[in-house]
Amino acid sequence: MFFLYKDIYKGLITFEFKGVPELMQVHIFKGEKYEGEVQESEEMKPQWYKINDIPYESMWKDDKFWLPMLLRGECFHGYFLFEGDSVILENRLTEVSGEELREKQKNLINFPLE
C-alpha cells in the first residue's frame, strides 16, 4: 500500500497521438511526503536518481521538457503531439501560476492550447 501526502497540483498536459482520435490529459502532482512501498507497474519500474543523473534517454520523450519544470517547482500546462511512441511532432509548454493552472483544469474543454 502506498499513500502520498502533501501532494501539490503542478501540471496539466494534453497528449495527442497522430491517428488516435482520443486525447489523453495527464494531471501532474508533486508529492512531498509518502508512506508505504513504491511498487513496480506495467509501465514503470520505480528507481531513485540524483537530479543530475535522471536518465531522460530511457524515459518518455516528453519527460525531458516538463520534468525539469516540475523539479524547479514551477506550475505548467502543455500539449504534445506524438507520432507513435517516440517521435514528438509538436509541443508547447507554458509556465503558469497555480491559480491559472487550476482555472485550466476547470476548463478542460479548451484544450489543446491555442
Nearest CA to 22 out of 82, 93, 92, 88 is that of 82
Please give the average per-residue pLDDT across 27-56, as a whole number: 88
How far apart are the two ends of the chain, measured CA to CA in Å? 40
Residues 23, 14: contact at Cβ < 8 Å? yes
Per-domain residue ranges for the chain? Answer: 2-110
- Looking only at the bridges linking them, the beta strands covering 75-83 and 87-96 are antiparallel
Type of residue numbered 62: D
List pLDDT tens digits, range 71-113.
Answer: 999 999 999 999 998 999 999 999 999 889 888 887 765 544 4
User: What pLDDT was estimated at residue 65?
Assistant: 97
Q: Select 2-110's CATH number: 3.40.50.740, 3.10.20.30, 3.90.79.10, 3.40.50.300.
A: 3.90.79.10
> What is this structure's pTM?
0.82
- Separation CA 4–CA 60 (nearest Å): 23
The pLDDT value recorded for residue 13 is 96
Report whether the peptide linkage leading into residue 112 is cis, meaning its omega lies within 30 degrees of zero: yes
Over residues 10-24, mean pLDDT? 95
